[in-house]
């Protein structure tokens, strides 16, 4: 009975407040260290350098024809190649041919004079087959393209009595002045008088340092060899070339002077033409041409027009655009 009472007392004591104390965790032994969470390591990524390709430098292609500051054409009359080259009456002409570049297979396009002159600046003969003074043409010509490119031009006609004179007078022949046949030039009086000038105006322009970019020079009927001995032509050429070369020595070395002929005295031709205007002795004078060089490529007067257009980035006019009429490329220095 006493034993049962003792058990009951113990149970009541446990259930009463202030009875058996709550259990508390045992402290860790001194040697035990709490385990702390380990921080994740910081990983720094170094980007792998991407190799850069070495740029390929494409060289600028060399132009087919130099971009001359000045181009001068001087046109003589009616002599076949063999009558000029090697002729002792023309020592000056032949010296230039030896010192610079001679085109040995260059041909006029037809006969007589006028259609060849028209071909030189218009790219066509326009169906004209005679030396007329009233056969005008409403078509573009080289001067239109030159002006549109921002360049300047003049033709200097020996013995022309006044600027933009219509007709022939004394030793001046309109048939050797193609600029007067194109309506856009002739019918614009102010433009015509500014650009179509007597040869005497060349020398003040040289003295003023004001030579146009494009120059077309026509000697009179005697000095062109049309009516007079070739020795007279050669002496006249010496005088003009001295004035021009003196000018270039002071102002620029970027020039081309072309000595050529309107036609020969045969029907020799090339380049797809059934008949031509004869083989003519054309010389290119410039610091940019090969010295003592003879180019035997078949060329025509259209080739001259094509080459001028190529030098200045102008459109090709008429037959100058045809592959039959070769661009002049061989004479230029590397």
| 183 domain-assigned | yes
pLDDT of residue 49: 58
* DSSP 8-class letter at 320: G
What does the angle CA 332 – CA 333 – CA 334 come to, to the nearest 5 degrees?
Answer: 120
| Residue 334: pLDDT band with limits 50, 70, 90 | confident
pLDDT of residue 124: 98
* Beta-bridge partners for 196: 155
The model's pTM is: 0.83
Using DSSP's 3-state secondary structure scheme, residue 259 falls into strand
| Residue 22: pLDDT band with limits 50, 70, 90 | very low
d(CA 316, CA 318): 7
| 212 domain-assigned | yes
Tens digits of residue pLDDT in 163-182: 999 999 999 999 999 999 99
Q: Which domain holds residue 89?
A: 72-321
| 43 domain-assigned | no
d(CA 287, CA 51): 47
Choose among 115, 113, 117, 130: nearest CA to 78. Answer: 113
| 22 domain-assigned | no
CB atoms within 10 A of CB 104: 17
| Tally of domains in the chain | 1
* Beta-bridge partners for 137: 182
Question: What is the DSSP track for 117-183?
Answer: HHHHHHSS-TT--S--SS--B-S--HHHHHHHTT--EEEEETT-SSTT--S-BTTB-GGG-GGGGBH
- The pLDDT of residue 23 is above 70: no
| 122 domain-assigned | yes
| 119 domain-assigned | yes
- Number of DSSP helices (H) and strands (E) in the chain, helices first: 9, 9
| 25 domain-assigned | no
CATH number for the domain spanning 197: value is: 3.40.720.10
- The pLDDT of residue 30 is above 60: no
Maximum separation of any 2 CA atoms in the chain, in Å? 174
| 135 domain-assigned | yes
CA atoms within 13 A on the CB side of 68: 28
Tens digits of residue pLDDT in 293-309: 999 999 999 999 999 99
Using DSSP's 3-state secondary structure scheme, residue 294 falls into strand
Question: What is the DSSP track for 186-231?
Answer: HT-HHHHHHHEEEGGGHHHHHHTT---SEEEEE--TTTTSSSS-HH
pLDDT of residue 35: 43
Tens digits of residue pLDDT in 52-100: 656 666 677 889 999 999 999 999 999 999 999 999 999 999 999 999 9
């Amino acid at each position: 009975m006493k034993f049962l009472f003792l058990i009951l007392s113990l149970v009541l004591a446990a259930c009463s407040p202030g009875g058996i104390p709550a259990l508390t965790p045992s402290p860790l032994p001194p040697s035990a260290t709490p385990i702390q969470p380990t921080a994740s390591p910081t990983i720094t990524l170094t980007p792998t350098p991407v190799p850069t390709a070495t740029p390929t430098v494409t060289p600028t292609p060399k132009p087919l024809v130099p971009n001359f500051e000045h181009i001068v054409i001087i046109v003589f009359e009616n002599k076949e190649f063999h009558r000029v080259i090697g002729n002792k009456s023309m020592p000056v002409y032949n010296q230039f041919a030896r010192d610079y570049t001679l085109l040995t297979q260059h041909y006029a396009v037809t006969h007589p004079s006028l259609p060849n002159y028209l071909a030189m600046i218009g790219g066509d003969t326009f169906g004209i087959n005679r030396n007329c003074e009233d056969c005008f043409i409403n078509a573009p010509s080289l001067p239109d393209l030159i002006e549109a490119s921002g360049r300047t031009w003049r033709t200097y006609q020996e013995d022309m009595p006044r600027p933009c004179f219509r007709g022939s007078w004394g030793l001046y022949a309109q048939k050797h002045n193609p600029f007067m046949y194109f309506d856009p030039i002739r019918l614009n009086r102010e433009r015509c008088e500014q650009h179509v000038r007597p040869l005497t105006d060349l020398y003040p322009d040289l003295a003023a340092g004001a030579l146009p970019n494009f120059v077309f020079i026509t000697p009179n009927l005697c000095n062109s060899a049309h009516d007079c001995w070739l020795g007279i032509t050669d002496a006249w050429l010496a005088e003009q070339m001295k004035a021009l070369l003196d000018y270039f020595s002071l102002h620029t070395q970027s020039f081309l002077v072309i000595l050529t002929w309107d036609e020969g005295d045969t029907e020799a031709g090339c380049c797809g033409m059934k008949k031509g205007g004869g083989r003519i002795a054309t010389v290119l004078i410039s610091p940019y041409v090969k010295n003592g060089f003879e180019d035997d490529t078949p060329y025509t007067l259209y080739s001259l027009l094509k080459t001028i257009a190529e030098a200045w980035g102008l459109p090709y006019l008429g037959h100058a655009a045809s592959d039959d009429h070769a661009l002049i490329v061989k004479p230029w220095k590397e």
